[in-house]
Amino acid sequence: LHSGAFDEIRRMLRGMSPAEVARLIESTPLRARNLLWQLIDKEDEGEVLQYVNEELAAHFLRHRNTEDIVSLVEGFDTDDFADLLQELPKTVMRQVLDSLDDQNRYRIETILGYPEDTAGGLMDTDIITIRPDISLDVVLRYLRRHESLPDTTDNLHVVNRTGQFVGILPLTKLLIKDPGMSVREAMNTDAKAIPASTPAREVAQTFEREDLVTAPVVDDNGVLLGRITIDDVVDVILEGADHSLMSMAGMDEDEDTFAPVWKTTRRRAVWLGINLLTAFLASYMIGLFEGTLEKVVALAVLMPIVASMGGIAGNQTLTLVIRGMALGHVGSANVRWLISKEMAVGFLNGILWSAVVGTIATLWFNDIMLGAVLATAMIINLLIAAMAGASLPMLLDKMGIDPALSGGVILTTVTDVVGFCSFLGLATLYYT
């Protein structure tokens, strides 16, 4: 690229919003990313950085000095700042922390004290607190002394002398209530604070259920630490959804579509290797019936049908149950009911489609027993597929294994083995 082209890209980047620039960078391969980053105007770097994912932001900052980093992340919310810091090398992280003033360092360190996927890791420490014994009028005058209020401020947080959370005062209440009223009289005391150790997934469920915009976060002693805002919760929800989708294909939510070929190859190789084991197991099972296959070659032609239908049906049940567990609809209380229901569905669909399959096979190879064997094997496999699909997620979850990641492989192993064995096994009984 000649320098004129660079100027043109620079002009184009200047015409885009920081969010658009960030999306463009995330949509290009590594080399182009570095180039684009260099072409951004210095004064826009900080804003763009807020919109790219943390891993990439850390990559861009890797070779900057401490002062540069601190000035670039000035506009970040404290929680995003903390997340980014965790992606940087330990020594850089320490240097950045040391260069902050006491109050900011204390705030960031509080967040860093909690795992990223808990309420404490999600919270933002930039909040406005007031005391319960003052009047609304005093609150109004206090707010007017501010140059600006933190983004997404919908509530003021009421704390007692020891910093413990006692309630929230929504701005909407502050605006309509009599200014002579005290905060204690006007505040909502039924607003529940979220303990800092609460897992992010539970936080998201609370926000969804109660249609919250922000929620206060407290430590074990009820002391107010910060608040969680809906934008971070939306990120948690999106990551959760991404996780389910990607796991089912053996990838994780950090998978970068534009990662270099080598990196991607290595990541994918593992998953293919695991599935190869499954495939070999199926081949081994088929190998056991080599004698039968030699006699009736039509069996080889038809055998993928049984395995594939079992896989498809089982995968539907598996997906449904994994989703149900994520929504909190499926648990140990109703899983038994669900297994019988899914088996009933599998049986009925087995009857229906095995009749079709059996008829076609009978006509194709002019062998009614072949049709009967195929139909019977398919009913068996659909029943087993339903049972496995419905019971595996709970079972794996109890064993601490992610059902979205491993459920599919295990299910396919089951439906392949049962599919091939039942079909070839029944055929062996009849033909030998």
In the window 158-217, what residues touch a second copy (CB under 8 A)?
A: 171-172, 174-176, 207-211, 213
Distances (CA, A) of 108 to 113, 302, 391: 9, 63, 43
Nearer of residues 109 and 231 to a second copy, judged by Cβ: 231
Map residue 126 onto helix, strand or coil.
coil
26 binds a second copy (CB under 8 A): yes
337 binds a second copy (CB under 8 A): yes
**Least Cβ distance, residue 99 to a second copy (angstroms):** 27
Total residues in contact with a second copy, by rule CB under 8 A:
111
363 binds a second copy (CB under 8 A): no
Residue with tokens 């303990």: 195
Specify the pairing of strand 129-130 against strand 155-159: parallel
336 binds a second copy (CB under 8 A): no
Calculate Rg over the CA atoms of the chain. 30
Query: Please, are residues 225 and 121 in contact by the beta-carbon 8 Å criterion?
Result: no
152 binds a second copy (CB under 8 A): yes
Between CA 302 and CA 37 the distance in angstroms is 56
Please count the helices (runs of H) and the strands (runs of E) in the chain. 21, 6
Specify the pairing of strand 165-170 against strand 155-159: antiparallel
Map residue 264 onto helix, strand or coil.
helix
Nearer of residues 44 and 231 to a second copy, judged by Cβ: 231
110 binds a second copy (CB under 8 A): no
Between CA 265 and CA 183 the distance in angstroms is 60
**Least Cβ distance, residue 191 to a second copy (angstroms):** 13
15 binds a second copy (CB under 8 A): no
Among 352, 363, 368, 429, binds a second copy (CB under 8 A): 352
Residues 41-60 touching a second copy, rule: CB under 8 A, are: 51
Residues 249-268 touching a second copy, rule: CB under 8 A, are: 249-251, 255, 257-258, 261-262, 264-265, 268
Between CA 240 and CA 244 the distance in angstroms is 6
Give the full edge-to-edge strand order of the sheet including 165-170: 129-130, 155-159, 165-170
**Least Cβ distance, residue 113 to a second copy (angstroms):** 25
**Angle of helix 368-398 relative to helix 403-431, nearest 10 degrees?**
150
Backbone phi, then psi, for 402, in 5-degree steps? Answer: -70, 115
**Least Cβ distance, residue 102 to a second copy (angstroms):** 26
In whole angstroms, what separates CA 96 from the centre of its chain? 29
Residues 80-99 touching a second copy, rule: CB under 8 A, are: none
Map residue 226 onto helix, strand or coil.
strand
Between CA 166 and CA 223 the distance in angstroms is 9
Nearer of residues 348 and 429 to a second copy, judged by Cβ: 348
Nearer of residues 118 and 413 to a second copy, judged by Cβ: 413
Tokens standing for 169?
Answer: 């005062």
Nearer of residues 98 and 147 to a second copy, judged by Cβ: 147
Q: How many CB atoms lie within 10 A of CB 184?
A: 16
Among 11, 12, 19, 398, binds a second copy (CB under 8 A): 19
Nearer of residues 152 and 160 to a second copy, judged by Cβ: 152
The angle at the Cα of 154, spanning 151 to 156, to the nearest 5 degrees, equals 100
273 binds a second copy (CB under 8 A): yes
**Of 7-15, 60-68, 149-157, 217-225, which segment contacts a second copy by CB under 8 A?**
149-157
The mark string for 284-323 relative to a second copy (x by CB under 8 A, - otherwise) is --xx--x--xx--xxxxxxxxx-xxx--xx-xx-xxxx-x
**Least Cβ distance, residue 312 to a second copy (angstroms):** 5
Nearer of residues 38 and 340 to a second copy, judged by Cβ: 340
29 binds a second copy (CB under 8 A): yes
5 binds a second copy (CB under 8 A): no
100 binds a second copy (CB under 8 A): no
Q: How many CB atoms lie within 10 A of CB 188?
A: 12
Among 16, 39, 237, 372, binds a second copy (CB under 8 A): 237
Nearer of residues 56 and 92 to a second copy, judged by Cβ: 56
242 binds a second copy (CB under 8 A): yes
Residues 396-415 touching a second copy, rule: CB under 8 A, are: 412
The single-letter code of the amino acid at 54 is E
Nearer of residues 7 and 208 to a second copy, judged by Cβ: 208
Exposed/middle/buried for residue 260 (C-beta within 10 Å: 0-12, 13-18, 19+): exposed
**Of 37-45, 64-72, 111-119, 141-149, which segment contacts a second copy by CB under 8 A?**
141-149
Backbone phi, then psi, for 259, in 5-degree steps? Answer: -65, 155
143 binds a second copy (CB under 8 A): yes
